[in-house]
Structure 1
């Protein structure tokens, strides 16, 4: 592996779209449709969302987005291709999201993740996230959701 870099990306670019589709397919295989809260590729182009790609040379290995909701930043579309897992790519993406949230002067970051996604939970905990109540439009009694936050 050469040096993994994190770049601002466009979710509709072919490599980003492929990563997002793989993420959506995976979540669709793990959870019922009503429990999936991912944004469409087009929705990730909203002006309040910053989208990042992890790259190794020309290969896109993963992606993540930060949605600025004024009082907090929300982690969206965090995904690493199966062939690039356990190589530190997710840690690099999370570091970029935290750096971006701080640059935008957001007081905290929040996320919704699926129950049973233990590797993702360990990643978030490693970066200082802890459990919190449901936020935004998420439901407190959603059986497949886990909510987490990080004070910046």
Structure 2
């Protein structure tokens, strides 16, 4: 098992296809962006993958941004292949993101997960994440 940062130079059609297939396990209804759109310098994203042999079996992303109240990171798109769950891959991906966030000097790391995702919630709380007393609002098609 290898945990590594995915870089623009790593992009191939095979990598794109593997990540797309994996992401469909997380949310089959979302329209996916091409990795070439995500891994650009102005996007400020750290994209971590887990590989077993040559197969990508997990992903996690950390977007960073600065606002008046601090330098933050937002975790997104954490997914582990259904056949590989329960093996500590999600924890290893998150540990790598936290390590990178610390190196970057973030003040806070945020994440959102659905209330129905009990294993993910268990992972995040075991790593010290706490539920914020706030609401998340969304606006699409504007």
Q: TM-score range by the shorter chain?
A: 0.7 to 0.9
Unaligned stretches of 5+ in structure 2? none
Residue 84 of structure 1 deviates from its aligned partner by 0.8
Please tell me whether the aligned partners of residues 61 and 97 of structure 2 are also in contact (alpha carbons under 8 angstroms).
Answer: yes
Query: Across the two proteins, how many residue pairs are aligned to each other?
Result: 127
1:124-135 equivalences in 2 (<5 Å):
124-132=124-132, 133-134=134-135
Distance, in Å, in 2 between the alignment partners of 1:24 and 1:100 is: 26
Structure 1 segments unaligned to the other structure (5+ residues): 143-152
Deviations 1:18-67 (A, max 9, x none): 334432454246xxx6xxxx873444324200111111222221011110
**5 Å matches for 1:2-151?**
4-10=1-7, 13=12, 14-28=14-28, 40-42=33-35, 43-47=37-41, 48-70=44-66, 71-132=71-132, 133-134=134-135, 138-139=136-137
User: Higher Cα Rg: structure 1 or 2?
Assistant: 2
For residue 113 of structure 1, report the CA deviation from its aligned partner. 1.2
Give the superposed CA RMSD.
Answer: 2.4
- Gap change, CA 1:28 and 1:45, over 3 Å in 2: same
* Structure 1 stretches of at least 4 aligned residues deviating more than 6 Å after TM superposition: none
CA distance in 2, matches of 1:55, 1:119: 21
- The answer to whether the 8 Å contact 1:39/1:77 transfers is no
In 2, are the aligned partners of 1:64 and 1:79 still within 8 Å (CA)? Answer: yes
